[in-house]
Amino acid sequence: NAGVMQNPRHLVRRRGQEARLRCSPMKGHSHVYWYRQLPEEGLKFMVYLQKENIIDESGMPKERFSAEFPKEGPSILRIQQVVRGDSAAYFCASSLTGTGGWNEQFFGPGTRLTVL
């Protein structure tokens, strides 16, 4: 029973390039959450998605960042024109339902993005 999968685990981009981070939720989970952890910081919520819908993107920067969770395939977090400040660990979590406590969220191993 595979857990939450994220790829790539490490991603290096030069300033101005695009970064695409993928998240495959646990089997049967239709709720996906993206978090970002900057160096020496805690995890910060970015966006909550269900299949084909963005439920809450209150933590997402207004520019350059977008997320989707299509009917088929993984959830994608896309960062356009990356800057050095985007360097961070990006974690995805999934849950079976969206209304429960957070103990229902299962985290993936994260993608570490480095912007040169």
Partner 1 sequence: DQQVKQNSPSLSVQEGRISILNCDYTNSMFDYFLWYKKYPAEGPTFLISISSIKDKNEDGRFTVFLNKSAKHLSLHIVPSQPGDSAVYFCAAGGSYIPTFGRGTSLIVHP
For residues 5-17, one letter each, b for 16 or more C-beta atoms within 10 angstroms of the residue's C-beta and e for the rest, the string is bbeeeebebeeee
Does position 108 interact with partner 1 (CB under 8 A)? The reply is yes
Q: How many CB atoms lie within 10 A of CB 40?
A: 5
| Residue from 41, 61, 70, 80 binding partner 1 (CB under 8 A) | 41
Identify the DSSP state of 113: E
Does position 114 interact with partner 1 (CB under 8 A)? The reply is no
Q: Least distance in Å: CB of 43 to partner 1?
A: 4
Site string for partner 1, 43-82 (x = CB under 8 A): xxx--x-------x-xx-----------------------
Which residues does 28 contact at the CB level (< 8 Å), separation at least 6?
A: 96
Closest listed residue to residue 91, CA positions, set 74, 68, 69, 110: 110
Does position 25 interact with partner 1 (CB under 8 A)? The reply is no
| Contact residues: partner 1, CB under 8 A | 4, 9, 35, 40-45, 48, 56, 58-59, 91, 93, 98-103, 105-110
